């Protein structure tokens, strides 16, 4: 285990090493993805092929025309006729202009197709990631998501920016030169085309070796991105605990691993590229010798040999170009492979696409858990068997130790996960039958995290319901007593909250998150310890607001402190995923169970 | 000249390359000799056409061909040697810059990090750096080599036939002019594209880290929309660049081709008149082809150079950010700390606050005696967390001073100060590392016993039951913990080194009632021996403090014991008491 591995610790799944069979499977998968990306642009691709053929034909005619000028134009000129030469020169000019115009059209065209493909791929991956369930995100983690959407896509961008057009033009010139060489003089043509055999062997060797090498670079860069974003995201803790030297060490190691992986890939190129040059130069020498002998022997004209040698240059130059871009191609292929992997992930809680029939008179919010069993990992059951009915409009508080299953119940109700067995229903409709839009109108959750996006305060609140007016936003903030501090900000509701809301205090962030949930106005509201960072007066204000807001809606509150429980109609005390106490707060106080004990301790702590 | 000043940041990058000067020269040498070898080949061909072939000298032909073959193999060998050295150098330079960038970033003050999105920083450490790497590896060398090659070829052409060569040289003038114009447009475009890539990375970073909130409100489509807009803007800017590039490259092809036509015309006439040999014309045209590739490549290299310059500029924006919170030159390390913490007339204003905004803290005077614990109480947004962040110098005061045992904290070595002052935040930051690494975060020297004691104190022994115990990877990349579990771990991290001053910013907020009491009990034991500054919201936690300070709108409104303040300060009772009459105005 390397030092980096020691630092990272052990996680459940490691899917690093890839066998040959899987490798072929991966390549097929990314080819499928590429096909589906390019298919919509088929017509444009045909136009591009036309443009590049034209450009190529014009470019190819150059040496031939020069040969004509020498073989025909000069003798004609010597005998006093200038027109063949002028004709050749005019043709050269025409070819040059055609080549330029067609080339520009081709580059712009491929650029557009490339950028469209890139946009399509970006949006597809992003949308797919948004669709994937939380279970996936918790396994896959944000660092890798970021790495996929940045560095992997960068690799593809690099290829599109600098590779594709060169690849295509080079490939085309190689093919057309092969044809021209054969037409000009087939024995000499055969001699030069024989060079293709070692060339193909060398390319095959490179392809096999480099695929694995580039795959490793993608893995390595993902690790680098993870460490980079995480440590800068948590910079406060890093600095407060003098973590910088150790982080430097880890980053240096991760960075070094990435360097090593890249080096390995580059070393292959270092053998491949000069190899191509060597083969080309040997072929040129062979043609020169053979052709020269034939000219001397009189079975070949000098002009043909000159043209042949000119073409041969253009034959091997693009080979080298291709090998150069084969490098960015392999990088992009590895990126595409990773992205196709993400796109193949199926959401573990697939959303229904056809809306379930809305209950008459709208959603009331009766929640039922029927025989629900659930565990995050096989064999570790968090909820052994839960049956629970929350009548519409009731406010339920969940109490219990860490690991008792409070948050799990909330997550099942918000459909972050689906139960292993049994079902969760709202107003008799099973949650999986709802579309995403319906689901979020029915159930909304305020989490402990209070994550704020960069943007203004208003933008963060309106996240709860994008079509809300400014007045509604301010009303929601007002209802929970957040408008006092918001108005005191320099630009009021239009104040930028800074990165992750750094301009606001933890309590203020929580109030904004609350306003967001109130604005969403769902039939069932889940509060996961949502008042933990508030001072007592703010908490009281929020609770006052909750009383009105929750009056006609169902609420599930995960409570760590008993002040929250005060507004509940009903308390559930959980232990190991089972309900051990269930009743109104006053009933439970009288029964002398765990709740009563906790409550007594809490009252004592109050001033 | 503005054109050159643009490359200033890229030129500054030379400090990173300096250690490899010798090797860079070697690479340049290899490239130059390799190019020379390939340039000589047409001359050999000319010699063959004009010599052995015309004379029918088969032996000579064989000998000359062997010479051409040798040249060709030498070229390949030189390429190999150059690249072998180049990849090592360039990757080392890239890794070095990235390391330096990261090191610098880690030491930049919090104020910087609040201002800069991680996505923008990430795009500098990856995208921009790889452009610079490519420029250093290929661009910089071939810029020189290709320019040399052009000059060399032109000189050879001059020797072959000077009137024709002058014609060729003249044709390069428009290419140079084009290059300059292109550079200006491309510079602006690449800056735009690279900035937009950073914006996109920021959106990606936020959507990935905020996924739970997005899921909770089903707002995936909204974010997709935002992302789609940004991606489309990037597409537009990228397409502008493509158009610019395409036009430039097309013209760079057109110019040599037209030159070729002119050469054929003039050359053929010259040969017909007998002023030039046929072999010379053949060599001249082959040589002209040799000129075509380097000129076209120059276009590509110029584009790369522009992008690299932009990347360097973006990198230096970060490198040039001053490290405002650093050791003073005469900073001292405290060996033994009694733990007397004093705030003297402390005021603080966030650097990004508006001019009309009042400072976050004003005129704070407070002394915490060694071993004493003072709780800071105040309404949401009154400046409690800010005050706590000033002690370990996460921010520096903008007025007055904070002293530890009589020494201004700014006169202490940062590492010394932060080893004596430990902090636990309300929002516990855990990293995707093993539990052990998270715990011994700033104290790699902690022993197994220290770890056990800290875990016990923070009631965080649950970590021993995790699948791989202390080696389990937690946080984002591994096992997810509940809010309370995370807070307890963060608390254990703060107390593990038995600091002299403990700053706790509401570290118990997410604990459930069961554990809160246990943690408070344990904390009470720790705090009895250390100086404590406690930011609290709960009456129960106030009990841990010897004295309480009430913070109102950045001003210290009252200091005293809990019962004193309850009796004398209604605002204090209002902030803390659940039973106080509603309607007491909260500040």
Chain A interface, best mutation among B82, B218, B482, B539, by max A CB count within 10 A: B218
Record: contact A285-B65, CB cut-off 8 A: yes
- pLDDT band for position B3 (cuts 50, 70, 90): low
| pTM for this predicted structure | 0.82
B419 close contact with A: CB closer than 8 A: yes
Q: Give A56 to chain B, closest Cα distance, Å.
A: 12
- pLDDT band for position B563 (cuts 50, 70, 90): confident
Residue B260 backbone zone (phi > 0: left; psi -120 to 50: alpha; other: beta): alpha
Q: Is the dihedral of CA B201, B203, B204, B205 positive or negative?
A: positive
Chain B residues whose CB is inside 8 A of the A536 CB are: 537-539, 575-578
Residue A4, domain member (yes or no): no
C-alpha span between A500 and B102 (Å, rounded):
20
Q: Give A321 to chain B, closest Cα distance, Å.
A: 11
Chain B residues whose CB is inside 8 A of the A74 CB are: 268, 271-272, 278
Return the top range by mean pLDDT from A499-513, B154-168, B469-483, B559-573. Answer: B559-573
Domain boundaries, position A523: 367-605
DSSP A2-37: -HHHHHH-B-S-------HHHHHHHHHHHHHHHHHH
Q: Phi and psi at residue B94, in whole multiples of 5°?
A: -60, -50
C-alpha span between A291 and A302 (Å, rounded):
9
A399 close contact with B: CB closer than 8 A: yes
Record: contact B381-A507, CB cut-off 8 A: yes
Residue A501, domain member (yes or no): yes
A326 and A417, same domain (yes or no): no
A116 and A160, same domain (yes or no): yes
CATH 1.20.1560.10 location in chain B: 2-319
CATH number of the structural domain spanning residue A421: 3.40.50.300
- pLDDT over 80 at B72, yes or no: yes
Distance of CA B272 to the CA centre of its chain: 65
- How many A-B residue pairs are in contact by the CB < 8 A criterion? 548
Tokens of A542: 């929020």
- The pLDDT assigned to A256 comes to 92
- pLDDT over 50 at B430, yes or no: yes
The 10s digit of each residue's pLDDT in B120-167 is: 888 888 888 988 988 888 788 888 888 887 787 788 888 877 888 888
- The pLDDT assigned to A424 comes to 92
Record: contact A454-B202, CB cut-off 8 A: yes
B374 and B566 Cβ atoms separated by less than 8 Å: no
CB atoms under 10 Å from CB of A75, counted, come to: 13
Return the residue of B nearest to A530 by Cα.
B510
Chain B interface, best mutation among A54, A110, A257, A537, by max B CB count within 10 A: A537
- The pLDDT assigned to B97 comes to 93
A81 and A217, same domain (yes or no): yes
Q: Where are the beta strands (DSSP E) in A391-469?
A: 395-400, 421-426, 429-430, 443-446
Task: Give me the mean pLDDT over the B5-29 stretch.
Answer: 86
Record: contact B586-A537, CB cut-off 8 A: yes
- The pLDDT assigned to A4 comes to 53
Task: Give me the mean pLDDT over the B242-265 stretch.
Answer: 86
Task: Give me the mean pLDDT over the B496-519 stretch.
Answer: 80
Q: Which of B79, B250, B258 minimises the CB distance to A104?
A: B250
CATH number of the structural domain spanning residue A289: 1.20.1560.10
- Which of A:358-377 have CB within 8 Å of B? none
A373 and A268, same domain (yes or no): no
- The pLDDT assigned to A607 comes to 53
DSSP B328-381: -TT-B--SS----EEEEEEEE--TTS-TTSPPSEEEEEEEE-TT-EEEEEE-TT
Give Dmax (Cα) for chain B: 120
The CATH number of domain B341-576 is 2.60.40.10: no
Low-confidence ranges of chain A (pLDDT < 50): 1, 12-17
- Residue percentage of chain B with pLDDT more than 70: 96
C-alpha span between B414 and B326 (Å, rounded):
7
Q: Would you call A361 helix, strand, or coil by DSSP?
A: coil
Tokens of A8: 């990272």
- The pLDDT assigned to B581 comes to 41
- Residue percentage of chain B with pLDDT more than 90: 14
Task: Give me the mean pLDDT over the B402-430 stretch.
Answer: 86
- pLDDT band for position B478 (cuts 50, 70, 90): low
Q: Would you call A133 helix, strand, or coil by DSSP?
A: coil
A179 and A324, same domain (yes or no): yes
A143 close contact with B: CB closer than 8 A: yes
CATH 3.40.50.300 location in chain B: 341-576
Burial of A497 (0-12, 13-18, 19+ CB in 10 A): buried
The 10s digit of each residue's pLDDT in B82-93 is: 888 988 899 999
A167 close contact with B: CB closer than 8 A: no
- A191: Cβ contacts below 8 Å, ≥ 6 apart: A283, A286, A287, A290
Residue A3, domain member (yes or no): no
B184 close contact with A: CB closer than 8 A: no
The CATH number of domain B2-319 is 1.20.1560.10: yes
Q: Which long-range contacts (CB under 8 A, 24 or more apart) does A195-203 make?
A: A195/A279, A195/A280, A195/A282, A195/A283, A195/A316, A198/A279, A199/A276, A199/A279, A199/A319, A202/A272, A202/A275, A202/A276, A202/A279, A203/A272, A203/A323, A203/A326
Q: Which residues pair with B11 in a beta bridge?
A: none
Look over chain B and give the mean of its residue pLDDT values, rounded to a whole number: 83
The 10s digit of each residue's pLDDT in B298-307 is: 777 888 888 8
Return the residue of B nearest to A251 by Cα.
B99
Q: Would you call B407 helix, strand, or coil by DSSP?
A: strand
Return the residue of B nearest to A107 by Cα.
B246
- Which of A:516-535 have CB within 8 Å of B? 516, 520, 529, 532-535
Q: Which of B113, B205, B576 minimises the CB distance to A235?
A: B113
- Which of A:295-324 have CB within 8 Å of B? 295-296, 302, 305-306, 309-310, 313-314, 317
Q: Give B339 to chain A, closest Cα distance, Å.
A: 17
Tokens of B207: 């959507």
Segment (H or E) for A385: strand A383-390
Segment (H or E) for B390: helix B384-390
C-alpha span between A530 and B13 (Å, rounded):
49
- Which of B:52-81 have CB within 8 Å of A? 52-53, 56-58, 61-62, 65-66, 68-69, 71-73, 75-77, 79-80
- The pLDDT assigned to B344 comes to 94
Tokens of A68: 């004509």
B220 close contact with A: CB closer than 8 A: yes
Residue A421, domain member (yes or no): yes
- pLDDT over 90 at B402, yes or no: yes
Half-sphere exposure of A281 (CA within 13 A, CB side): 26
DSSP B104-143: HHHHS-HHHHHHS-HHHHHHIIIIIHHHHHHIIIIIHHHH
Residue A73, domain member (yes or no): yes
Q: Give B2 to chain A, closest Cα distance, Å.
A: 27
- pLDDT over 60 at B578, yes or no: no
More confident residue, B416 or A549: B416
- The pLDDT assigned to A163 comes to 64
Count of structural domains within chain A: 2
C-alpha span between A604 and B133 (Å, rounded):
66
Residue A514, domain member (yes or no): yes
C-alpha span between B472 and B434 (Å, rounded):
5
Q: Would you call A505 helix, strand, or coil by DSSP?
A: coil
More confident residue, B479 or B426: B426
């Amino acid at each position: 285990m390397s030092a980096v591995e020691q630092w990272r610790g052990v996680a459940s799944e490691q899917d690093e090493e890839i066998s040959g069979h899987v490798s072929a499977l991966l390549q097929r998968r990314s080819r499928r993805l590429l096909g589906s990306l390019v298919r919509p642009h088929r017509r444009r691709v045909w136009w591009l092929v036309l443009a590049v053929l034209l450009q190529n034909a014009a470019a190819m005619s150059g040496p031939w025309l020069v040969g004509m000028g020498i073989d025909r134009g000069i003798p004609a000129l010597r005998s006093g006729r200038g027109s063949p030469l002028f004709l050749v020169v005019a043709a050269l000019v025409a070819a040059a202009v055609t080549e330029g115009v067609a080339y520009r059209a081709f580059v712009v065209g491929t650029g557009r197709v490339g950028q469209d493909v890139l946009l399509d791929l970006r949006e597809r991956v992003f949308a797919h990631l948004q669709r994937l369930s939380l279970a996936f995100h918790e396994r896959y983690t944000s660092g890798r998501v970021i790495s996929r959407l940045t560095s992997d896509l960068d690799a593809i961008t690099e290829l599109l920016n600098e590779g594709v057009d060169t690849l295509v033009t080079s490939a085309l010139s190689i093919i057309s030169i092969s044809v021209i060489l054969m037409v000009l003089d087939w024995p000499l043509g055969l001699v030069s085309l024989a060079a293709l055999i070692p060339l193909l062997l060398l390319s095959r060797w490179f392809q096999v070796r480099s695929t694995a090498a580039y795959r490793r670079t993608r893995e390595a860069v993902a690790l680098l991105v993870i460490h980079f974003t995480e440590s800068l995201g948590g910079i406060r803790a890093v600095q407060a605990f003098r973590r910088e030297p150790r982080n430097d060490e880890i980053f240096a190691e991760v960075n070094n691993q990435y360097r090593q992986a890249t080096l390995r890939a580059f070393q292959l190129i270092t053998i491949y590229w000069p190899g191509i040059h060597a083969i080309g130069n040997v072929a040129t020498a062979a043609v020169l010798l053979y052709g020269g002998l034939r000219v001397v022997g009189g079975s070949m004209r000098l002009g043909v040999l000159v043209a042949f040698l000119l073409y041969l240059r253009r034959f091997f130059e693009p080979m080298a170009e291709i090998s150069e871009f084969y490098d960015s191609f392999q990088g992009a292929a590895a990126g595409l492979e990773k992205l196709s992997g993400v796109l193949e992930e199926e959401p573990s809680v697939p959303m229904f696409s056809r809306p379930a029939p809305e209950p008459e008179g709208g959603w009331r919010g009766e929640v039922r858990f029927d025989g629900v069993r659930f565990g995050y990992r096989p064999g570790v059951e968090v909820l052994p068997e839960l049956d629970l009915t929350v009548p519409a409009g009731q406010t339920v508080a969940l109490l219990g130790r860490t690991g008792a299953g409070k948050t799990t119940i909330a997550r099942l109700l918000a459909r972050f996960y689906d139960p292993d067995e049994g079902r969760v229903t709202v107003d008799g409709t099973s949650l999986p039958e709802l579309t995403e839009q319906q689901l979020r109108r029915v159930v909304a959750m305020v989490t402990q995290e209070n994550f704020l996006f960069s943007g203004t305060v208003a933008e963060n609140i309106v996240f709860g319901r994008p079509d809300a007016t400014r007045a509604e936003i301010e009303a929601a903030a007002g209802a929970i007593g957040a408008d006092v501090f918001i108005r005191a900000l320099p630009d009021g509701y239009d104040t930028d909250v800074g990165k992750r809301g750094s301009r606001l205090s933890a309590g203020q962030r929580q109030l904004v998150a609350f306003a967001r949930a109130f604005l969403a106005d769902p039939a069932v509201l889940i509060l996961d310890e949502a008042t933990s960072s508030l001072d007592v007066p703010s908490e009281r204000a929020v609770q006052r607001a909750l009383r009105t807001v929750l009056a006609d809606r169902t609420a599930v509150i995960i409570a760590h402190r008993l002040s929250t429980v005060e507004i509940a109609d009903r308390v559930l005390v959980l232990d190991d995923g089972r309900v051990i106490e269930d009743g109104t707060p006053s009933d439970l106080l009288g029964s002398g169970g765990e709740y009563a004990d906790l409550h007594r301790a809490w009252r004592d702590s109050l001033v | 000249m503005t054109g050159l000043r643009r490359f200033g940041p890229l030129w500054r990058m030379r400090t990173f390359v300096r250690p490899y000067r010798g090797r860079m020269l070697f690479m340049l040498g290899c490239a130059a000799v390799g190019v020379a070898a390939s340039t000589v080949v047409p001359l050999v061909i000319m010699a063959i056409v004009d010599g052995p072939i015309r004379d029918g000298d088969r032996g000579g032909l064989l000998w000359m061909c062997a010479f051409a073959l040798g040249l060709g193999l030498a070229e390949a060998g030189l390429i190999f040697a150059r690249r072998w050295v180049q990849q090592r150098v360039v990757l080392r330079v890239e890794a070095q810059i990235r390391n330096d960038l990261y090191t610098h970033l880690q030491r930049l003050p919090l104020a910087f990090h609040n201002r800069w999105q991680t996505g923008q920083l990430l795009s500098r450490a990856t995208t921009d750096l790889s452009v610079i790497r490519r420029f250093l590896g290929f661009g910089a060398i071939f810029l020189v080599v290709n320019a040399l090659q052009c000059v060399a070829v032109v000189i050879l052409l001059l020797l072959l036939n000077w009137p024709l060569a002058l014609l060729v040289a003249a044709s390069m003038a428009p290419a140079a002019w084009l290059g300059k114009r292109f550079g200006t447009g491309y510079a602006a475009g690449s800056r735009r594209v690279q900035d937009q890539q950073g914006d996109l990375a920021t959106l990606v970073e936020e959507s990935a880290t905020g996924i739970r909130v997005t899921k909770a409100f089903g707002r995936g489509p909204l974010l997709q929309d935002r992302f789609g807009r940004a991606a489309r803007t990037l597409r537009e800017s990228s397409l502008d660049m493509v158009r610019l590039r395409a036009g430039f490259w097309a013209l760079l092809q057109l110019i040599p081709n037209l030159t070729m036509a002119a050469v054929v015309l003039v050359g053929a006439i010259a040969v017909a008149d007998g002023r030039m040999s046929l072999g010379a014309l053949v060599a001249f045209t082959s040589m002209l082809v040799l000129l075509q590739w380097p000129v076209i490549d120059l276009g590509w290299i110029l584009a790369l150079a522009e992008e690299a310059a932009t990347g360097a500029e973006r990198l230096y924006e970060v490198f040039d950010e001053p490290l405002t919170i650093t050791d003073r030159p005469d900073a001292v390390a405290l060996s033994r700390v009694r733990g007397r913490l004093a705030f003297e007339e402390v005021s603080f204003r966030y650097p990004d606050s508006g001019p009309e905004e009042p400072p976050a803290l004003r005129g704070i005077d407070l002394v915490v005696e060694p071993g004493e614990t003072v709780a800071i109480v105040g309404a949401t947004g009154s400046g409690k967390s800010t005050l706590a962040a000033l002690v370990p110098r996460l921010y520096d005061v903008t007025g007055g001073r904070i002293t530890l045992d009589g020494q201004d904290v700014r006169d202490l070595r940062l590492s010394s100060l932060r080893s004596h002052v430990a902090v636990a935040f309300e929002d516990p930051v855990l990293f995707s590392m093993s539990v052990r690494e998270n715990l011994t975060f700033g104290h790699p020297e902690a022993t197994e016993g220290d770890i056990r004691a800290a875990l016990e104190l923070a009631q965080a022994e649950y970590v021993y039951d995790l699948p791989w115990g202390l080696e389990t990877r937690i946080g984002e990349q591994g096992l997810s913990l509940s809010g309370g579990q995370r807070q307890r771990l963060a608390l254990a991290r703060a107390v593990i080194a038995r600091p002299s001053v403990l700053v706790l910013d509401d570290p118990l907020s997410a604990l459930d009632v069961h554990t809160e009491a246990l943690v408070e009990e344990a904390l009470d034991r720790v705090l009895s021996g250390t100086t404590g500054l406690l930011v609290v919201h709960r009456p129960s936690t106030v009990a841990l403090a010897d004295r309480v300070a009430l913070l109102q709108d950045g001003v210290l409104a009252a200091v005293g014991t809990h019962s004193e303040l309850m009796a004398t300060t209604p605002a204090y009772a209002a902030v803390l008491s659940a039973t106080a009459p509603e309607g007491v105005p909260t500040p």
